[in-house]
Structure 1
Amino acid sequence: MVFALNSSNVFSYLSEQNLLNTGQKYLEKVELIEAKNFNLLVTFSDQSKLLVKQERYQKQGKVIGEFFGEWKSREFLRQLPEFCLLKNYVNRVIHFDPDNSILVFHYLEDYQDLTNLYQTSNFPIKIAKDIGYFSAFLHRETFQNEEYKNFWTADKNPLSPEPLKFLIEGLERITPEIFSVVPADGLKFFLLYQKYDSLGQAISELKQAFQPSCLTHSDLKINNILLSKNWQNLDQKLLCVIDWERASWGDPAFDLGMLISSYLQLWLNSLVISRTLSIETSLKLATIPLENIQPSLKSLIQNYLEIFPEILEIRPDFIERVIQFAGLGLIQQIQAMIQYHKVFGNLGIAMLQVAKTLLCRPQASITTVFGANIVF
């Protein structure tokens, strides 16, 4: 029988699982947090808070089982004391219930969404550097380690899609059935995608170039990064990286590409869109100009390479692959716009144009992303 978590039974569930301390005898309130999963923020009379998440059930009362990756990442860190620095960037799971697909976390009261700061067009360099440090440390310390690889490739969840396959699913084989499931507005995307042979070829080549070689977050983006409310007084460990559900043995270029893509989306989502304006004019009129973001992207990648310089020796094309994965991340965002918002307008067309440039001309796009004075 399926157990469905709700605001009425969450307190009794936590009590039955022995997760409450002496100060949490009384419940003050339960808040529903809108998210992909079913999330409840539970506040107790002592003002302590727990975040309780349950994966949403699919048809026939089944779940994909994505929480397994979240839990596995914590088990990995727990078993390896050499990753104590990395633990400072990860929120701690205090309970995992695989039978009911429930995770319980201490609520991070002292953190805020990084997106909120960035939406004000404020891009402090120290934050970008810390993101670069975290990413490089994660990739470098697990790179080409057979023991770690075996840990992550054993007992894989067969229902959870591989990150790259998840991204390009439906692009390689566009069938007539697409007309019955995609809104008319969304068909414009598939028509344009098929029109650009070079785009499909670039994505196919990128798929072949994917090199699983280290632990990757596999959903690394601004929305999954929290910022300490005291960040201005800190030099390091400003951040907490959340939502490790897709953590896997993957390609470090993929992680960085998805991260850079989320920065570019801040720029693209701020475009002034009008039928009377050309795409080129809209790009120039963005309320969050690309020029405001470039210094952070430059600092991020430079700090990454300062921590993990060996990656360029092992993979001379690493930066180009990062740029291409950033383009693929924009394609993913377009697909999400079509799936959830049923639209593909001028914003989607502009995003597709940028994605095409990144995927098909990665070398020439390096200065577009990082600025004219970037040196590797």
Structure 2
Amino acid sequence: MRAPLTDAELDARLAGLGLVRDPSITNPPPSKNRTVVCKVKNGKKRVLVKIADGPGNVGVLREGSVLERVEPLSRVARSPLHLPHVYAFDPAHGLLGLEWIPNTETLHHFHRRSGEYPALVAEQVGNALGYLHRSSREGRAHYALADTFRDDSDLLECFLRMRPDFYARLSTAGIDFFASVQADAQAMTGLQALSTQQLRESENALLHGDLRQANLLRVTKTPKATSIVYLDWELSFWGDPARDLGSLLSDYVMGWIAPEHRSEVLARPVLETFAHALLKAYAAAREPGFKLDDDFQQRVVRWIGTALLISVYGISHYEQHLDARALGVARQAREMLGKPAEWPTVLWGKL
């Protein structure tokens, strides 16, 4: 872990990149990393700088490494994958500078503000994700170092083979929660199937790794023209492509089965239409021969269930208690893991 930089040290490092702090931005976007908003010297362009010191050290360096490999995909003519441009990546000094994108909001905020779930947004997201997975599979040599992206703290494995240090950090509610999952034989079979799938390198692709509504930025170019920018690549790794889909769709499924707020309520027909459009666009962007067959769809369902379980674990960790809503989500998640064949037509209809 790097020692936190003093203001003078940070300013000196920024100057080396041709940047100065922008005093007009006092509240940069929320981030688990230390960030500052800067301007290019003698210019108006803004840059968001992530700083690798303290707990954010590994994440910033990992994200910079991933973006160096992935960003060229966004520069291909008519590429559907949009990424923040890397202004500078200085791993020696722990700085990652990304373009500041104006006129934006995350999909999390867009859906809750507008109450809209446009098929066009679903298609944009699915098309870009299918393109990422296809391109990484076609250029495996370029991503051969993807093992460095793997996260040893993968919570999937904690459900199956819990490490002593992880167990020691669990709250009482967390211990009870993990025990309830591990007592469900069908759910555990589903989790084990996903773990096994992760090892099938021939079927894997480079994943975003943390694909959620909050990591997708809706950019308004004109009143009728928008694009979706993929953010926060620090958890990217080589794995089961269905995992990215399940991770994102879990956010939408949560709005159907257990919304926390009125603005999050998502009717099942709306969920079905959105998920259907996303998956169809995803399949169309994948390589020739790819099929959204029953096996793949059931893996997506199981990854949705896994993501929901991870959300419940988060509640147990931060709240030290699981209320009726959280326990209900856990039950639904175990059903998805144990009986995945029953869910595709419910969640996205016939493909």
| Shorter-chain TM band | 0.7 to 0.9
From 59, 62, 78, give the equivalent of 1:66. 59
Structure 1 distance, partners of 2:245, 2:67, is: 21
From 300, 303, 309, give the equivalent of 1:322. 300
From 224, 227, 234, give the equivalent of 1:233. 224
Q: Does 1:346 align with 2:324?
A: yes
Structure 2 distance, partners of 1:267, 1:6, is: 46
Distance change >3 Å, CA 71–CA 355, structure 1 → 2: same
Is the 1:77–1:87 contact (alpha carbons within 8 Å) kept by the matching residues of 2?
no
Matches within 5 A, 1:186-265: 186-210=174-198, 211-212=200-201, 213-230=204-221, 232-234=223-225, 238-265=227-254
What letter is aligned with 1:311? F
The 3-state SS of whatever aligns with 2:279 is helix
The 3-state SS of whatever aligns with 2:13 is helix
How many residues get paired? Answer: 344
Structure 2 distance, partners of 1:91, 1:193, is: 38
What letter is aligned with 2:183? K
Is the 1:93–1:106 contact (alpha carbons within 8 Å) kept by the matching residues of 2?
yes
What TM-score comes out, normalization by structure 1 length?
Answer: 0.79
The 3-state SS of whatever aligns with 1:108 is coil
From 41, 50, 53, give the equivalent of 1:53. 50
Instruction: Give how far 1:74 is off.
Output: 3.0
Distance change >3 Å, CA 78–CA 243, structure 1 → 2: closer
The 3-state SS of whatever aligns with 2:160 is coil
Aligned to 2:350: 375
Distance change >3 Å, CA 169–CA 102, structure 1 → 2: farther
What letter is aligned with 1:173? R
Aligned to 2:126: 132
Aligned to 2:154: 166
Instruction: Give how far 1:106 is off.
Output: 1.6
Distance change >3 Å, CA 27–CA 10, structure 1 → 2: farther
Instruction: Give how far 1:296 is off.
Output: 0.8
Aligned to 1:310: 289
Bigger radius of gyration: 1
What TM-score comes out, normalization by structure 2 length?
Answer: 0.84
Is the 1:93–1:103 contact (alpha carbons within 8 Å) kept by the matching residues of 2?
yes
Structure 2 distance, partners of 1:77, 1:259, is: 19
Instruction: Give how far 1:11 is off.
Output: 3.9
Distance change >3 Å, CA 338–CA 232, structure 1 → 2: farther
Provide structure 2 residue ranges, at least 5 long, that are not aligned to the other structure: none
- The superposition leaves residues 163-204 of structure 1 with CA deviations (integer Å, 9 ceiling, x where unpaired) of xx6131321235787775322233331232133122112101
Structure 1 distance, partners of 2:2, 2:70, is: 31
Q: Does 1:95 align with 2:74?
A: no
Structure 1 distance, partners of 2:276, 2:303, is: 17
**More moved, 103-112 vs 40-49:** 40-49
Aligned to 1:119: 112
Provide structure 1 residue ranges, at least 5 long, that are not aligned to the other structure: 274-285
Distance change >3 Å, CA 12–CA 100, structure 1 → 2: closer
Is the 1:227–1:240 contact (alpha carbons within 8 Å) kept by the matching residues of 2?
yes
Is the 1:231–1:238 contact (alpha carbons within 8 Å) kept by the matching residues of 2?
no
Structure 2 distance, partners of 1:37, 1:224, is: 14
- The superposition leaves residues 62-87 of structure 1 with CA deviations (integer Å, 9 ceiling, x where unpaired) of x6623344223333245669844448
Distance change >3 Å, CA 9–CA 180, structure 1 → 2: same
Structure 2 distance, partners of 1:47, 1:81, is: 24
Structure 2 distance, partners of 1:6, 1:311, is: 51
Aligned to 2:16: 16
User: Identity percentage over the alignment?
Assistant: 20
Aligned to 1:109: 102
Instruction: Give how far 1:261 is off.
Output: 1.3
Aligned to 1:35: 31
Structure 2 distance, partners of 1:245, 1:33, is: 16
Aligned to 2:333: 355
The 3-state SS of whatever aligns with 2:105 is strand
Instruction: Give how far 1:340 is off.
Output: 2.9
